[in-house]
Amino acid sequence: MEYLFGRKPAVELDPTDRVLPLHFFENSRLVQGNNMAVSLVFDDVLDPEKLRQSLEGLVKREGWQKLGGRLRTNAAGKTEWHIPREFTAERPAIGFSHVDHGMPAASHPAASKIPQPSARPAVVGDPDDLVDLAWEPGYQPGGIKDYLTSNRPVLGLRVNSFADKTVVVLQWQHVAFDALGMQYVVEGWSNMLWGKEAEIPTPCHGDSDPFDVIAKGTRPATEQHVLADRRVGLGGLLKWGLGYGIDMLVRAKDNRMVCVPETYWRPQLEKALEELRAEAVKKGEDPSKVFLTEGDILTAWTMRCVVRPMRMNPDRLVAASIAMSLRKAFEGDLIPASAERPYVGNAFGWANVLISAGDVTSKPLSWLARQVRQAINEQGTRAQHEAYYAMVRASGTGLPVVVMGNGDMAQIGFSNWSKAGLFNLDFAPARKHPGKGHAPCRPSYVQENHGPIKPVDGFFVLGKDDKGNYWTSACKVKGQWAKLQEQLEKDFEMGV
């Protein structure tokens, strides 16, 4: 638990560094407690030097240098950014490693376990099987403390070369950016690779925190949060923590990847839209205004798949926390338009869906997806985000979250990375043997590894591949994935 409570040993500082404080969203144990690694699997042999030079070139650009910064603790115990004035061989812009495994991926003990798409919804693999490709073999992520006393830049690249594949891994400490911040990073990286430097925008200036007004409440909230009366009190938090908290921090867990093919999720989405439109017509409402996203149906479906096998008391509350970016809500206010000056950092809020277990398991999927959409629409406004963080400030926990529901609830989390567009990346210029003409070079598989904090039933939606398959991963208490797989098979056979 040193990453939460440990004292950080002193480290020699470079007096020429530009020193910046952490922003509000970076300065929390929730963010600092996780080191991230996203693995992109390409069915091509890529040039590791081209990948390194393009990413390094991005970080050296004006406004992007923060990603090459080091993290240090000052005399007052506060963590700060220390950004080199000039990147050198001794203090590079990114961490970099390349391993040439010298064999086909199928012959390698880890790469041979790269999950393959399935024809029906299924648990298809364990992302932790690839952990020694994502990080150096034997490395156990320890959170921000791993960066405080090393020369490690906050952003790293690890390239694993095989005779027929390349596993490209982007590594970072979560203080650097969230999922939408990652979108700007990988888009900039791709543009560098394609020689489109002129299309790379300069990020928001990192010296000051644009979300300082949220952190300090200098602009009071203009309305009450829609779930203000559903906050969990101290007694409920203690009770909830003894359940969910122990599951997260103590109990053994299994990490798994689920593939949801388009032949399954799209009919579910179309059916849900038909039902909601028919309902609108009966109510005399305009059916053309019925709206659901692919993410809505995936979230609702996942909730149902998690809850059904647990055979909960129908009255037990299920709380789904859905991570949202604050960027859209605050564009033109606290931050400029993302297309002009993207905010590469952390800026997240939450939508909470509170429903009984009985409703999750018995109501139509269309009804459940609509609850998800309504929660995102209602709680995703600028005023509601401000109201939410007014509650965060009042809670005094130091965490950028407020727990909604009650002490007995079942908690499910969702972080949808689809907008990061990881499956849409085209790294064709990095091909070592460009014999495929103008064919794009896109990832066939994407996964994430993180640690040391691993919430139970915290689902990452990695995105949709070029065949329409959605990929989502999560950790569950050891032994529970078998029950979920049984539920997937049952639902598929029943056509629901």
Q: What is the mean pLDDT of the chain?
A: 93
Q: pLDDT tier at 400 (50, 70, 90 boundaries)?
A: confident
- Supply the pLDDT for residue 392: 93
Measure the CA–CA gap between 272 and 278, rounded to whole angstroms.
Answer: 10
Residue 108 appears among annotated catalytic residues:
no
- CA torsion sign, 428 to 125 to 454 to 466? positive
pLDDT mean over 177-185: 96
The answer to whether 54 and 192 are in contact (CB under 8 A) is yes
The answer to whether 112 and 103 are in contact (CB under 8 A) is no
Residue given tokens 């922003």 in the structure block: 23
The catalytically annotated residue of 174, 225, 385, 450 is: 174
Joined together, the tokens standing for residue 189 give 């990286």
**Ordered DSSP codes for 87-155:** --SSS-SSEEEEEE--S-GGGSTTGGG-----SSSEEEE-GGGGHHHHSSTT----TTHHHHTS---SE
The catalytically annotated residue of 14, 132, 359, 426 is: 426
Domain extents in the chain: 2-115+131-199, 226-494
Q: pLDDT tier at 10 (50, 70, 90 boundaries)?
A: low
Residue 101 appears among annotated catalytic residues:
no
Quick one: what percent of the chain has pLDDT higher than 70? 96
Q: Does the pLDDT at position 370 exceed 70?
A: yes
Taking only the tens place, the pLDDT of each residue in 292-334 is 999 999 999 999 999 999 999 999 999 999 999 999 999 999 9
Residue given tokens 């203690």 in the structure block: 238
Nearest to 169, CA basis, from 257, 240, 110 = 110
Taking only the tens place, the pLDDT of each residue in 230-284 is 999 888 888 877 777 776 666 789 999 999 999 999 999 999 999 999 999 999 9
Q: What is the pTM of this model?
A: 0.94
| Strand 470-477, strand 79-83: pairing | unpaired
Q: Does the pLDDT at position 3 exceed 60?
A: no
Which superfamily does 226-494 belong to? Chloramphenicol acetyltransferase-like domain (3.30.559.10)
pLDDT mean over 207-212: 92
Fold assignment, 2-115+131-199: Chloramphenicol Acetyltransferase (3.30.559)
**Ordered DSSP codes for 372-396:** HHHHHHHHSSHHHHHHHHHHHHHH-
CB proximity list for 50: less than 8 A, separation 6 or greater = 193, 429, 430
